[in-house]
Amino acid sequence: MPTLPRFSKDTVPLTERIAKLNIKRQEIIRPIVEHPREFVLLSVRALAKRLQTDPATIIRIVHGLEFGSYKDFQHHLHELSLVYATSQDTMLKSYPGDSKNSAVTECVYADIKNLQGFKNSLEPARLTALAKRIYAARRVVLIGGDIAAVLVSYLEYQLNLLGLPIFVATSGGAISHAMRAMSKRDLLIAISFRRGLRQTVEGIQQARERGAYCVGITDTYLSPLARTCHEVFLGSTDTVYYGSSYVAPIALANAILTAVGEFKRPRTLAIVKELAEEQRGGSRWFGS
């Protein structure tokens, strides 16, 4: 039987938990699901007032949604607000009265915070176990679309240096075709952030049906990748500008590459020794 993702309770969609409430309580809580960012910082009393009910009812609803406390519920809303964040939402996090220079500084601080969060949650043993799976797999298929294709290409380039059987799909059609050839001897690494691209999530579902081991790279356990993959690795993409920050996901990719390189260190050293000759005097380098 396939294993569930880590922290599997948090991967149960809030909408599914709400469906277990009675109709009246569903209607009370529905605005929060539709606009989590507007409610995440409110106290119990402020939330109750906003929803035109009383604090005791809010607490009963929170417990009905299987949260141990209101604080746990707020944490879930924070994650939910990140999942559904738009480019407009992230830009509005910066202060309009501040100078443009301050916004740049805040962007760098956000990147540092993401990187520190990744460092604090790092689990080297899991990365070593992933490296073992990569070497044991018949094929390692990397999928991801839109800007996540940048990370796919980065991992492909670096893993190809080690002569590993790497295959890539970054469009809907290519992903669909690649998944038809998956088997229990293959490893899928899927990359998608926030709500998750449909083509990526559906690709994971197809790969699992064919027995492949599926690994997700995403930014929250509320991602659909956490519900569809056997395991996920997280790197926050939170930022204050209009896009997404890939500082932490790149650090995660580098940690994976390090684990792979060290797993068979003598083999890696033999390959990089050969690469060194080309890097010192190869014709593609300027000044050669």
Q: Report the 3 state secondary structure along the chain.
A: CCCCCCCHHHHCCHHHHHCCCCHHHHHHHHHHHHCHHHCCCCCHHHHHHHCCCCHHHHHHHHHHCCCCCHHHHHHHHHHHHHHCCCHHHHHCCCCCCCCHHHHHHHHHHHHHHHHHHHHHCCCHHHHHHHHHHHHHCCCEEEECCCCHHHHHHHHHHHHHHCCCCEEEECCHHHHHHHHHCCCCCCEEEEECCCCCCHHHHHHHHHHHHCCCEEEEEECCCCCHHHHHCCEEEECCCCCCCCCCCCHHHHHHHHHHHHHHHHHCHHHHHHHHHHHHHHHHHCCCCCCC
206-219 burial, b at 16+ Cβ within 10 Å, e below that, comes to: bbbeeebbbbbbbb
Give domain status of residue 186, yes or no. yes
Look at residue 9 in the predicted model and tell me its pLDDT: 45
Same domain as 123, residue 213: yes
Give domain status of residue 99, yes or no. no
Same domain as 128, residue 28: no
Give domain status of residue 181, yes or no. yes
Give domain status of residue 280, yes or no. no
Same domain as 159, residue 258: yes
Give domain status of residue 101, yes or no. no
Same domain as 142, residue 78: no
Look at residue 160 in the predicted model and tell me its pLDDT: 94
Look at residue 191 in the predicted model and tell me its pLDDT: 97
Same domain as 73, residue 146: no
Give domain status of residue 198, yes or no. yes
Same domain as 222, residue 178: yes
Same domain as 168, residue 33: no
Q: Which of 34, 69, 84 is the last residue before a domain boundary?
A: 84
Same domain as 123, residue 62: no
Burial (Cβ within 10 Å: 0-12, 13-18, ≥19) of residue 103: middle
Give domain status of residue 199, yes or no. yes
Same domain as 137, residue 44: no
The closest alpha carbon to 121, from 5, 251, 246, 261, belongs to 251
CATH code for the domain in which residue 259 is found: 3.40.50.10490
Same domain as 67, residue 165: no
Same domain as 39, residue 141: no
**What domain range is 47 assigned to?**
9-84
- Tokens in use for 43? 């106290």
Q: Which of 39, 57, 84 is the last residue before a domain boundary?
A: 84
CA distance 139 to 3: 21
The closest alpha carbon to 253, from 107, 142, 167, belongs to 142
Give domain status of residue 93, yes or no. no
Look at residue 33 in the predicted model and tell me its pLDDT: 76
Same domain as 135, residue 49: no
Look at residue 238 in the predicted model and tell me its pLDDT: 86
What does pTM read for this prediction?
0.77
CA distance 95 to 107: 12
Look at residue 15 in the predicted model and tell me its pLDDT: 73
Per-residue pLDDT of the chain (288 residues; tens, 9 = 90+): 333 344 444 556 677 788 888 888 888 888 887 778 778 888 999 988 888 899 899 898 888 888 888 888 888 887 777 777 676 766 666 555 556 668 888 889 989 999 999 999 999 999 999 999 999 999 999 999 999 999 999 999 999 999 999 999 999 999 999 999 999 999 999 999 988 899 999 999 999 999 999 999 999 888 889 889 999 999 999 888 777 899 999 999 999 999 999 999 999 999 998 888 877 777 777 765
Name the β-bridge partners of 49: none
CATH code for the domain in which residue 41 is found: 1.10.10.10
User: Based on the structure, what is the number of domains in the chain?
Assistant: 2
CA distance 144 to 192: 6
Look at residue 3 in the predicted model and tell me its pLDDT: 39
Q: Which of 40, 63, 84 is the last residue before a domain boundary?
A: 84
